Amino acid sequence: MTASYARRTAALEPFLAMEVMERAFALEREGARVLHLEVGEPDFPPPPAAIEACVQALRAGETRYTDSRGLVALREAIAADCARRFEVQLDPERVIVTSGTSTAMLLVFSLLVDAGDEVVLGTPHYPCYPNFVRACGGTPVFVATDPERGYPLDPETVRAALTPRTRAILVSSPANPTGAVQSRETLRAIAGLGIPLVSDEIYDGLVYDGVRATSALEISDEAFVLDGFSKRYAMTGFRLGWLVAPRAALRTLQTLQQNLFISANHFVQHAGIAALREGTETVAAMRSAYEKRRGRLAEGLRALGFRVPALPQGALYVLADARAFDADSRRLAFALLERAHVGAAPGIDFGSAAEGWLRFCCAVSEATLDEALERMARVLPELGAR
């Protein structure tokens, strides 16, 4: 018997940055030394207190289910952290702890999107955004942003993209892959359009040049805010995040969490509490290092012939125009991987607006960046423009 799969799964596209990384792992198993600039993996260790808290929780037998919404102590720590960062008073009851922000996103779109509904988002965009929407039966609607101006969202362009089927507007600030930070005025205007605002703030805190990102929590109590520990605290493998939701949505989200995921890992939640309480120095060190590496990487890419219109204001990446070498970003990324053993994410992963571009992660050591640039310098002239 031939299996018949749900039609919506056919609309999902591979996550190409992961495809590059998985091919890189295969090369490493064959003995190659690959320089990984393809995924947003901080090279800093997690806060020592987070590791110790996780170990102690395991030793203490904290391995059972928790409340589906998360440990009360963690939810309170998240609310206190939001108060410190944004000067907002957040009721811990509005916080749902999740197994990473991806889980939070699936909860939100499961709540908001029915078959045929639409979600508006800026592009270039994080590759998984449209796939979350499609997995819930919805249709992503893309709004272009201008690289020459630092990729700001235009509220009037967003307004023009709305239809009677629009169920959410998704904003990422600071953004992956562009590093764009949306202004308070932009967020306020978008929130004022009367459509639920979903704000991905996983890169908050990793902002540069004195910029401060505005949280949707400062704009509206009706926004859905996604955040977590992966980037700001270098805890990608812990798979721990959270969702702040409007009060009216909490009970339904709790029901979804109970059924789909039960709860986040018990012992990992203790690591989250420790990171929030004692991880400030780790975040400050990362931000300072990444700000320097961002400039070093952008300068090096420009010297090789890539075009970088503007330095990113936040996040961990430099998105570079690579069309001088190859307009097919997937082909170019895999050529660099195979021939230079340098990983880069194909621009097409971030939507058609980024085709011909490559995204490089600057969350690696300066020595790694320099070596990656040297390796690419030897290979790129052989590729030429295609």
Task: Please enumerate in sequence order all residues whose Cβ is within 8 A of that of 68, keeping only pairs 6 or more positions apart, or say none.
Answer: 96, 254, 257, 258, 261, 262, 263
Q: Which helix (H) or strand (E) holds 107?
A: helix 101-112
- Does the pLDDT value for residue 283 go beyond 80? yes
pLDDT tens-digit readout, 312-361:
999 999 999 999 999 999 999 999 999 999 999 999 999 999 999 999 99
- Does the pLDDT value for residue 165 go beyond 70? yes
- Does the pLDDT value for residue 124 go beyond 70? yes
CATH 3.90.1150.10 domain position(s) in the chain: 7-45+281-380
Q: Given CA atoms 279, 49, 46, 215 in this order, what sign does their dihedral have? A: negative
CA distance 104 to 96: 8
pLDDT tens-digit readout, 252-269:
999 999 999 999 999 999
At residue 349, what is the residue type? D
- Does the pLDDT value for residue 379 go beyond 70? yes
C-alpha separations of 126 from 140, 166, 170 in Å: 12, 20, 11
> What is the pLDDT averaged over residues 141-158?
96
Which pLDDT band, with edges at 50, 70 and 90, does 4 fall under? confident
Pick from 384, 319, 331: nearest CA to 127: 319
- Does the pLDDT value for residue 109 go beyond 60? yes
Residue with tokens 């004022």: 192
What dotted CATH number matches 48-279? Answer: 3.40.640.10
Residue 30: how many other CB atoms lie within 10 Å: 6
CA distance 90 to 221: 9
- Does the pLDDT value for residue 164 go beyond 70? yes
> What architecture does CATH give domain 7-45+281-380?
Alpha-Beta Complex (3.90)
pTM of the model: 0.93
CATH 3.40.640.10 domain position(s) in the chain: 48-279
> What is the pLDDT averaged over residues 126-133?
95
Percent of the chain topping pLDDT 70: 99
Q: Specify whether the CB–CB gap between 339 and 372 falls below 8 A.
A: no
* pLDDT at site 384: 63
pLDDT tens-digit readout, 75-87:
999 999 999 999 8
Pick from 298, 287, 150: nearest CA to 231: 287
C-alpha separations of 218 from 82, 179, 244 in Å: 10, 20, 12
